[in-house]
Amino acid sequence: MSAGTRALSLPTRLISAFSGTVGLVIKIVLLSLVNAFAIWAAVVLSDHHKWRALGLLAFVTAAIDAIYLTRRWTLPLKFLIPGTIFLLAFQVIPVAYTINVAFTNYSTGHILSRSEAIANIEQNSLTEAGNGASYAMTLMRSDKHQLVLALLDNSGHAFIGTPDGLRPIPRDQVTIAGGTIASAQGYTPLKGTELGSIDTELSSYKVPVGGGKAIEPQGFDSAVVLEPTYRFDARKDAFVRVKDGVLFKDNGRGSFVAANGAEIEPGWKTYVGMRNFGRIIHSPLIRSPFLKVFLWTMVFATSVVFLSFALGLLLAITLNKPGLSFQRTYRALLIIPYAVPAFLALLVWQGLLNDDFGVVNRAFHTSIPWLFDPNWARVSVILVSVWLTVPYFFLVSLGALQSIPSELIEAAEVDGGGAWQVFRKITLPLLLVAVAPLMIASFAFNFNNFNNIYLLTGGGPALNNSPVAGATDILISYTYKIAFAAGKGQDYGLASAIAILIFITVGTISAISFSRTKALENLA
């Protein structure tokens, strides 16, 4: 009973510990760190003119200071605040972000903002005009300190290029060395380290040569004649293809698209409403294997949890027997699968199970297609996952078994209960009170156990009649394949939409299961 009183007094003891001098110092250090972080964040936020966020930051920081610096009446808050902050930072914000992304077209080709995309199209649509004329370039300054380009074309003609245009310059006014103009009368060449400081001026430098074409410097030694393929028409809010005047209009989904469906890359990130959810329902690629994958996911997660629990419990009961020799050694050995990094264990298993060259088939002189036959591959992923999960349930069951008062069992035995009866009527129900929530958690974990599937079979082997999902693909690995290995590369919007559906599924199953476990507690 002394344990109970100690546990009860813990908050009180904590408070008294933090009221002393040591506590005061710790408090000052921690609060100073919080305030230092806030001041730094305030500087950054004001740099970016985020005034609302700045206001919120000031309010929160002031509130934290007030709560921890004033006396007793804020006591409950002192305990609540850290938990709330971590909840917001690690749960609420990522979930909110995922939900937000699910309603956007965030994907390959749609990661810039609209204005960035327009600027990028204007720049990257430049092509070398005609035969791709290029000039050897020397950067110079005029007497009036204006930046000019001294250009030498392939046939040895010299020019001076300025933002006003191109002007030929007589050969006797220039000296040419090493294929470039070394000096020109009336101009001073820029040399060495000076070049590093004129970048901003140079990168937007254009020497117009008529017909929308311009000579543009490339680096510091050469310049090429470039012409745009697309021109942005701000009035129509659309791009015009210079060659034939075809209009590329904003399609409302983050792209400029022509009437014939041709699309200019890049597009931009924008909200697309329920479109990603619509794709899940309408695309045959996603819809047709969905049910099959969902069922297999349920089978996988359920069987891993129940088999692991059964096996873990069996081992726990065996090793819980008092007086067993080498008890500690056995226990230590059993925990090994838990201690080895899972991804390593999975890769090792992949080698062990190799159909022709794996140790398993060689040792037993069998030729079971562990990884290449759909059904055997399903067996393999379940077996390996069970191997990885058993130690967990072994530990949990061992702990729970030891916490069951031996009086209860002895009383049952005195009343004439057999071993099986005692186990079924007394031990198991009491055990389940503690273990059932963990089984639900383990189910949720295995429902989304991407690592096991991806590292062991990669979702394979492929099924003949299904384009995306392989035999062992569970929902999350299947999502990965749809969102990151199909279409045009990565599709975060679609992935987030499916993630939300998975979240709802797992959440519902867990909620139902938890409400069932309440009944267990009443029973106990």
Partner 1 sequence: MKVGRRPAVLLAVVLAVALSLVGSRSAPAAHASTKAAKLTIWVDNVQKPAVDKITSSWGTRRGVDVNVVFHSFGTIRDDLKTVKAENAPDVIVAAHDWTGDLAANGLVLSLFPTKALKKQFPKYALDAFSYGGRLYGAPYALENVGLVVNTRLVKVPKTFAQFEKEALAFKRKSPDNIALAVPQGSGGDAYHMYPFFSGLGGFVFGHAKNGALQPNKLGLASKTFLNNASLIDKWNREGLINSKIDYGTAKNAWLKQQAAFWITGPWEVDALKASGNPFRIIQLPKIKYQSVPFLGVQGAMVTKFAQAHGVESLAKDLVASEMMKAGFQLDLEQANLRYPANKLAGKRVNDPILRQFGAAGAGGVPMPNIPQMGSVWAELGGAWVKATKGTGATSARVAFTTAAKNILDKIAGG
* Interacting residues with partner 1 between 99 and 118 (CB under 8 A): 108-109, 111-112, 116-117
| Structural element, H or E, at residue 390 | helix 374-403
Check binding of 372 to partner 1 (CB under 8 A).
yes
Per rule CB under 8 A, is residue 192 in the interface with partner 1? yes
User: What tokens were used for 457?
Assistant: 């079979």
Query: Could you check whether the bond before residue 391 is cis, i.e. omega within 30 degrees of 0?
Result: no
How far apart (Å, rounded) are the C-alpha atoms in residues 441 and 519?
Answer: 18
Cα separations in angstroms, 251 against 229, 254, 258, 284, 361: 20, 7, 9, 24, 57
DSSP helix/strand/coil, 369: coil
Please tell me whether residue 124 binds partner 1 under the rule CB under 8 A: yes
Report whether 117 contacts 519 (CB < 8 A).
Answer: no
* Residues 459 and 481 sit within 8 Å (Cβ to Cβ): yes
CA distance 331 to 316: 9
Comparison of 289 and 312: residue with beta carbon closer to partner 1: 289
Counting contacts by CB under 8 A, is residue 219 touching partner 1?
yes
Does 77 participate in binding partner 1 (rule CB under 8 A)? Answer: no
**Which of 26, 29, 336, 441 lies at the binding interface for partner 1 (CB under 8 A)?**
29
Structure-token match 């030729």, residue found: 367
- Closest approach of Cβ 276 to partner 1, in Å? 12
Between 129 and 158, CB nearer to partner 1: 129
Tell me: does residue 32 bind partner 1 (CB under 8 A).
yes
d(CA 486, CA 407): 61
**Residues between 37 and 56 that touch partner 1 (CB under 8 A):** 38-40, 43
16 binds partner 1 (CB under 8 A): no
Contacting residue, 65, 227, 250, 413, with partner 1 by CB under 8 A: 65
95 binding partner 1? (CB under 8 A): no
- Residue 216 Cβ vs partner 1, minimum distance, rounded to whole Å: 8
Q: How far is the CB of 459 from partner 1 (least distance, A)?
A: 9
Residue that the structure tokens 């267990």 belong to: 520
Q: Does 214 bind partner 1 (CB under 8 A)?
A: no
Cα Dmax for the chain: 121
Shortest Å, Cβ 262 to partner 1: 12
Q: Which of 184, 391, 400, 491 binds partner 1 (CB under 8 A)?
A: 491
Binding residue (CB under 8 A) for partner 1 from 80, 87, 485, 524? 485
Residues between 256 and 295 with contacts to partner 1, criterion CB under 8 A? 265-266, 283-286
How many residues sit in the footprint of partner 1 (CB under 8 A)? 89
Q: Which of 8, 14, 17, 69 forms a contact with partner 1 (CB under 8 A)? A: 69
Residue in 188, 222, 251, 366 binding partner 1, rule: CB under 8 A:
222
Taking residue 240's Cβ as centre, other Cβ atoms within 10 Å add up to 16
Q: Is residue 228 involved in binding partner 1 (CB under 8 A)?
A: no
Residues 149-168 that bind partner 1 (CB under 8 A): none
Query: Beta partners for 135?
Result: 223
For helices 374-403 and 327-334, the axis angle rounded to 10 degrees is 140
Please, which residue, 29 or 428, has the CB nearer to partner 1? Answer: 29
Report the SS3 class of residue 454.
Answer: helix
- Nearest distance from C-beta of residue 457 to partner 1, angstroms: 6
The residue among 250 and 355 lying less far from partner 1, judged by its C-beta, is 355
Question: In whole angstroms, how close is the CB of 126 to partner 1 at the nearest point?
Answer: 7
Indicate the residue among 401 and 456 with the shorter CB distance to partner 1.
456
Could you tell me the sign of the dihedral formed by the alpha carbons of 294, 374, 463, 478, in that order? Answer: positive
* Pure H helices in 283-341: 284-319, 327-334, 336-339
Q: DSSP label at 463?
A: P
Whether 289 and 296 have beta carbons less than 8 Å apart is answered as no
Among 60, 126, 280, 352, binds partner 1 (CB under 8 A): 126
Tell me the window of 96-104, 161-169, 220-228, 508-516 that interacts with partner 1 (CB under 8 A). 220-228
- Return the bridge partners of 177, or none: 180
> Is there binding between residue 474 and partner 1 (CB under 8 A)?
no
Determine which residue in the list 91, 100, 123, 421 makes contact with partner 1, applying CB under 8 A.
Answer: 123
By the rule CB under 8 A, 457 interacts with partner 1: yes
Q: Shortest distance, CB of residue 198 to partner 1, whole angstroms? A: 8
- Residue with Cβ nearer partner 1 (191 or 321): 191
Which two three-digit tokens encode residue 283? 């695309």
> In the bound complex, what is the minimum distance in angstroms from residue 378's beta carbon to partner 1?
13
Helices (H), 48-162: 51-69, 75-87, 93-102, 114-124
- Rounded to the nearest 10°, the torsion over CA 150, 153, 157, 160 is -20
- 356 interacts with partner 1 by CB under 8 A: yes
Spell out the SS3 assignment of 23-58: HHHHHHHHHHHHHHHHHHHHHHHHHCCCHHHHHHHH
Q: How many residues does the chain have?
A: 524
Residue 67 binds partner 1 (CB under 8 A): no
> Does residue 462 belong to the site contacting partner 1 (CB under 8 A)?
yes
Residues 397-456 that bind partner 1 (CB under 8 A): none
Between residues 64 and 439, which has the closer beta carbon with respect to partner 1?
A: 64
